[in-house]
Amino acid sequence: MATVVTLTDVAAQKIGTLLSDEEHAGAGLRVAVRGGGCSGFQYQLALDEQHEGDQVFEHDGIRIIVDEMSLRYVEGSTVDYTESLMGAGFQVENPNVVASCGCGSSFRVKDEDPSCGTSV
């Protein structure tokens, strides 16, 4: 299977630093989608271990873990890390998004009805 999610160089470096401590040995970056927000879905990024049913991809030596249900929503996405005066954090650039809320914390993809708090 092709890589579903990629990382920018900056994101890969930041995640590599976070994974370098012993507490996270063997972990990777979990990229998931959960219901919520005014546009229907929200991203969940976390350092995590692989679980049954997960797909695992590798980018620059970083394991990217995606659960089966989130695959269709994040295919082709790129995770970036940005720093600005407003703060720092990871952002997901997703070509599947057709609408997002004003604050940018939730999104909707094609063929999904807009809703508030939909569970995935």
Contacts of 20 (CB under 8 A, 6+ apart): none
- The one-letter code for the residue type at 37 is G
Asked if residues 30 and 44 have their Cβ atoms less than 8 Å apart, the reply is yes
Per-residue pLDDT tens for 33-60? 887 766 677 889 999 999 999 999 998 8
Per-domain residue ranges for the chain?
Answer: 5-109
Per-residue pLDDT tens for 73-100? 899 999 999 998 888 999 888 887 766 6
- Answer yes or no: is pLDDT of 29 > 50: yes
- Answer yes or no: is pLDDT of 10 > 50: yes
Fold of 5-109: Hypothetical Protein Aq_1857; Chain: A; (2.60.300)
* Mean pLDDT for all residues in the chain: 82
Check residues 69 and 1 and name the one with the higher pLDDT. 69
pTM, two decimal places: 0.78
